[in-house]
């Protein structure tokens, strides 16, 4: 028992207000909680029962007796991150504070406390594919895992993680260098418009959109030059670069992008239905092949008027002879000049495969073939001569060139 005379003595002082019992009633703490003795319902000295909960290590009778809310073997336990109780510095049961991150649905005050990295309305949120945070099974922010493929610049573990791209150096998705590389990285890719970066990701020019043919002879063809309108007089057929051409443009006078590895040429006549086409394999031992590749890749001007080696297509769905023998050269004639070739005084730039001493038959031709040749309909004059897989019709035909 606490000696009563000590309180009586205190209450006798003029600045203390005491009840008639001479005991200070201004606070509600029972005298037994401060008397230094375990009494009443206390589980240890001045704690437990109706007193405040006991600190770690004090005797307890139940969880409520302890500040940690964990009473084991009669003693209050220190908070730990696996006791199934929210205690210590924890934000919710066994998470936050000095413990690990909180699961979705647990309480939080900050996103950094959540496994998902997202704290909203006081609770950790489930990972989603639109929360702007890399979480759940995602490989990078909101992509990979259950969130679909990742775009260029995002983390990947293999090509299958990348959207129309390649999993490249540093395990980062990048644009393919060509339609051929895209098809290799993403088998089953259908024909359409995709972004490529021929001079490499992160160097040179940025990636740009091109049309890919993923069907003909296994696919992987990159379109680089096309005519779908009357050809402008005097224009260099290879005067543009492919990044300058919108895929929806009616004319693109681009050469094959710098640095490309090229094995084949595809020519499509898109005026026919279904489109006729022919394909060639470049062959370093063939002079006509070298002349065509030199022009299309490096703009090397040339005049082979029936003096080149025969360079025949390995695929030909054309219904008319354009690469025949005799007068039309048998695909052993090619010119890309801004001047005279074989006596035909070009009025301006011109390019023609199988452009021999004849006038019209060609695998492809763009620009002038000079006066002296019959004019096509609706051609306004020989200077706007153009055609693809045509044979002696003097007819303007729309077409496209692809490489792979």
- CA–CA distance from 384 to each of 28, 292, 301, 375 (Å)? 105, 21, 19, 10
CB nearer Ca ion, residue 103 or residue 199: 199
CA 163 from chain centre, in angstroms, equals 5
Residues in 308-347 at the binding interface with Ca ion, rule: CB under 5 A: none
Residue 131 in the binding site for Ca ion (CB under 5 A): yes
Residue 94 in the binding site for Ca ion (CB under 5 A): yes
Q: Which stretch binds Ca ion (CB under 5 A): 47-55, 86-94, 269-277, 324-332?
A: 86-94
Under 8 Å between Cβ of 333 and 359: no
Residue 391: half-sphere exposure toward Cβ, Cα within 13 Å: 13
Compute the least distance from the CB of residue 203 to Ca ion, in Å.
5
CB nearer Ca ion, residue 83 or residue 269: 83
What single-letter DSSP state applies at residue 274?
Answer: S
Compute the least distance from the CB of residue 74 to Ca ion, in Å.
20
* Cβ neighbours around 333 below 10 Å, total: 29
Of 42, 44, 46, 83, the residue at the interface with Ca ion (CB under 5 A) is: 83
Of 38, 43, 65, 87, the residue at the interface with Ca ion (CB under 5 A) is: 87
CA 24 from chain centre, in angstroms, equals 75
Residue 65 φ/ψ, nearest 5 degrees: -70, -15
Cα R_g (the chain), whole angstroms:
42
Residue 199 in the binding site for Ca ion (CB under 5 A): yes
Q: Which stretch binds Ca ion (CB under 5 A): 201-209, 226-234, 267-275, 334-342?
A: 201-209
Under 8 Å between Cβ of 56 and 70: no
Q: Which stretch binds Ca ion (CB under 5 A): 39-47, 151-159, 190-198, 372-380?
A: 190-198
How many residues form the binding site for Ca ion (CB under 5 A)? 12
Sign of dihedral through CA atoms 242, 219, 289, 305?
negative
Of 57, 105, 153, 204, the residue at the interface with Ca ion (CB under 5 A) is: 204
Q: Tokens 């005050």 label which residue?
A: 109
Residue 191: half-sphere exposure toward Cβ, Cα within 13 Å: 11
Q: Tokens 């000696």 label which residue?
A: 3
Compute the least distance from the CB of residue 263 to Ca ion, in Å.
21
Compute the least distance from the CB of residue 105 to Ca ion, in Å.
17
Q: Which stretch binds Ca ion (CB under 5 A): 186-194, 202-210, 297-305, 331-339?
A: 202-210
Binding site for Ca ion (CB under 5 A): 83, 85, 87, 94, 131, 133, 135, 142, 197, 199, 204-205
């Amino acid at each position: 028992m606490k000696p009563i005379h000590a309180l009586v003595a205190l209450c006798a002082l003029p600045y203390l207000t005491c009840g008639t019992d001479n005991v200070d009633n201004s606070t509600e703490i029972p005298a037994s909680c401060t008397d230094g003795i375990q009494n009443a319902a206390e589980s240890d000295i001045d704690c437990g029962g109706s007193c405040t909960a006991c600190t770690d290590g004090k005797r307890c009778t139940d969880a409520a007796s302890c500040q940690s809310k964990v009473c084991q073997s009669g003693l209050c336990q220190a908070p730990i991150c696996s006791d199934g109780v929210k205690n210590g510095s924890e934000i919710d049961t066994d998470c936050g504070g000095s413990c690990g991150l909180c699961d979705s649905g647990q309480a939080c005050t900050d996103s950094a406390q959540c496994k998902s990295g997202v704290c909203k309305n006081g609770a950790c949120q489930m990972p989603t594919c639109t929360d702007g945070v890399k979480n759940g099974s995602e490989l990078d922010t909101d992509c990979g895992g259950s969130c679909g493929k990742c775009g260029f610049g995002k983390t990947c573990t293999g090509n299958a993680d990348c959207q129309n791209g390649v999993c490249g150096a540093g395990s980062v998705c990048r644009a393919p260098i060509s339609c051929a590389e895209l098809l290799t990285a993403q088998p089953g890719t259908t024909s359409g418009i995709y972004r490529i970066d021929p001079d490499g990701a992160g160097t040179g020019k940025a990636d740009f959109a091109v049309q890919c043919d993923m069907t003909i002879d296994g696919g992987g063809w990159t379109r680089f030059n096309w005519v779908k309108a009357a050809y402008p007089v005097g224009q260099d057929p290879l005067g543009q670069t492919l990044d300058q051409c919108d895929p929806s443009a009616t004319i693109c006078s681009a050469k094959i992008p710098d640095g490309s590895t090229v094995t084949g040429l595809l020519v499509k006549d898109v005026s026919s239905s279904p489109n006729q086409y022919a394909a060639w394999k470049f062959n370093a031992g063939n002079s006509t092949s070298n002349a065509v590749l030199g022009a299309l890749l490096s703009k090397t001007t040339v005049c082979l008027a029936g003096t080149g080696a025969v360079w025949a297509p390995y695929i030909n769905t054309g219904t008319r002879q354009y690469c025949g023998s005799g007068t039309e050269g048998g695909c052993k004639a090619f010119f890309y000049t801004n001047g005279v070739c074989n006596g035909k005084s070009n009025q301006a730039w011109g390019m023609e495969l199988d452009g021999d001493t004849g006038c019209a038959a060609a695998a492809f031709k763009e620009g002038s073939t000079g006066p002296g040749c019959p004019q096509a309909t609706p051609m306004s004059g020989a200077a706007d001569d153009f055609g693809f897989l045509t044979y002696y019709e003097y007819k303007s035909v729309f077409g496209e060139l692809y490489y792979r």
